[in-house]
Amino acid sequence: MKTEALFAPLIRGAIMEKARRPWIVHFVPGGEAGELSLALRSGEEQGAAGEIAAAFGASGFFKEGKIPLRVRLEYDGTGYSYLTAPCRGGIEKIRMGEVKDPWELQSLEAERGAFPGKPGDYGLSRSRVVKDRIALVTGGAQGFGEEIARGLVSAGAFVFIADLNRTGAERLAAALNEEYGKPAAFPIEVNVGDEASVENMAETAALECGGLDLCVSNAGVLRAQAILEQDISGFRFVTDINYVAFAIITKHCGRLMRAQHTASPSWTGDIIQINSKSGLEGSSKNGAYAGSKFGSIGLVQSFAKELVEYNIKVNAVCPGNFFDGPLWADPEKGLFVQYLKAGKAPGAKTVEDVKAFYESKVPMGRGCTGPDVIRAILYLVEQIYETGQALPVTGGQTMLN
């Protein structure tokens, strides 16, 4: 990772440790003078974090709640400049020269004490838990990912929409920025199956915002086939994107979160995998998918045990079928059309009949929706005494023992 991306989460963590709330740290290529400048002796995570914390402590900043809005680090003969603000909109205001008195941005600061990582914080309403936090959603351009990105933005988070479909990610980010009248989302093109691409995604999050508080690993694929006919290259593809890619994402987003933790030991980060009810119960003629989802729950449990040291929780949400999403409802390639042709719903003559057949399998009588998944995500972020769990959101269709 580039040096400027390594330093960004250390600055962000140092600020959050003092501010007790999320903060944005934005790298500025070319560099500007900082209100706070320091020459680092160490370019390594632990050493640099200690030097940054000591310099901030000695600087007189943070007294009376003041936080430097321009920070410049020198290391090994190179200067690195960052703008810092309580929200992404603040960064734009500083950049556009709209901020005359840098402290006026302090009025944008949300309530102090909104620090969900502290056991003493009770009474946070659910949506507040992600307010001003930085989130990233893979596969965020459509389907559940789009719903999650929209839900997180409406709850006040800044969201990276990371997707193979660059145009779709750009379109959604632009629509959200327009709808909310502020920088609310940022598109990143990524192939989650490609480690270099995922590393670049994490680097972009570091340079744009200084790190991440919530990573939603949502991108997933399905190639349903009977095992006796299984095309093994399709099986490997599903395993690569649903299972291996989750490990790659956890590696690189987890490193960013670890750097923040080094600088802010009380901060809590979340990695949430969008799994499936097929990760809890086998699925006939869909073994590649169910296997990749079952396996991912093993990864969730293992990574949860491993990353707890850095205050990173790792959990999964296991939704039921999203009948209104493109996977099921697409009028040409959707599963309803396919299942109608294949006669999978007994007696069904129309797509509506097929939908009614599948809805009747759900005790609550309907499919899973974006808001159902968002509520589960907010619950997992708010719940600071649980990790390694797979939370079903299936209308009662799948129940844990």
Ligand X SMILES: NC(=O)c1ccc[n+]([C@@H]2O[C@H](COP(=O)([O-])OP(=O)(O)OC[C@H]3O[C@@H](n4cnc5c(N)ncnc54)[C@H](O)[C@@H]3O)[C@@H](O)[C@H]2O)c1
**Using CB under 6 A, which residues numbered 194 to 213 contact ligand X?**
none
| Nearest-approach distance from CB 110 to ligand X, in angstroms | 31
**Using CB under 6 A, which residues numbered 250 to 279 contact ligand X?**
274, 276
| Nearest-approach distance from CB 201 to ligand X, in angstroms | 9
C-alpha to C-alpha distances, 174 to 87, 132, 154, 184, 352, nearest whole angstrom: 18, 19, 15, 9, 34
| Nearest-approach distance from CB 127 to ligand X, in angstroms | 22
Q: Looking at this protein, which amino acid is placed at residue 247?
A: A
Contact, 320 vs 393, CB < 8 A?
A: yes
Q: Which of 259, 275, 348 is nearest to 310 (CA)?
A: 259
Of 6 and 219, the one with the shorter C-beta distance to ligand X is 219
Per-state percent for the chain, helix, strand, coil, to nearest 5: 50, 15, 35
What's the CA gap between 393 and 70, in Å, rounded? Answer: 44
**Using CB under 6 A, which residues numbered 47 to 86 contact ligand X?**
none
Query: Binding mask 274-313 vs ligand X (x if CB under 6 A, - otherwise)?
Result: x-x-------------------------------------
Instruction: Note whether 136 binds ligand X by CB under 6 A.
Output: no
The correct pick among 185, 214, 241, 316 for binding ligand X (CB under 6 A) is 241
Instruction: Note whether 191 binds ligand X by CB under 6 A.
Output: yes
**Using CB under 6 A, which residues numbered 214 to 233 contact ligand X?**
218-221
The correct pick among 5, 327, 340, 391 for binding ligand X (CB under 6 A) is 327
Instruction: Note whether 370 binds ligand X by CB under 6 A.
Output: no
Which listed range, 1-9, 158-166, 306-314, 344-352, lies at the site for ligand X (CB under 6 A)? 158-166
| Nearest-approach distance from CB 238 to ligand X, in angstroms | 9
Of 11 and 345, the one with the shorter C-beta distance to ligand X is 345
Q: Which of 367, 380, 399 is nearest to 216 (CA)?
A: 380
User: What's the order of all strands across the beta sheet hosting 134-138?
Assistant: 185-189, 158-163, 134-138, 214-217, 269-274, 312-319, 390-393
Instruction: Note whether 187 binds ligand X by CB under 6 A.
Output: no
Q: Which of 164, 165, 167, 214 is nearest to 192 (CA)?
A: 164
The correct pick among 117, 325, 392, 395 for binding ligand X (CB under 6 A) is 325
Contact, 175 vs 187, CB < 8 A?
A: no
| Nearest-approach distance from CB 269 to ligand X, in angstroms | 21
C-alpha to C-alpha distances, 198 to 97, 164, 180, 217, 249, nearest whole angstrom: 33, 11, 28, 11, 6
Residue 231: CB atoms within 10 A of its CB come to 11
Q: Where are the alpha helices (DSSP H) in 264-350?
A: 287-307, 326-329, 335-342
The token pair that represents 125 in the structure block: 């309403």
| Nearest-approach distance from CB 318 to ligand X, in angstroms | 7
Q: Rounded to 5 degrees, what are φ and ψ at 54?
A: -65, -40
The correct pick among 138, 250, 264, 389 for binding ligand X (CB under 6 A) is 138
Which listed range, 48-56, 79-87, 95-103, 317-325, lies at the site for ligand X (CB under 6 A)? 317-325
Enumerate binding residues for ligand X (CB under 6 A): 138-139, 141-145, 163-165, 168, 190-193, 218-221, 241, 274, 276, 319, 321-322, 325-328
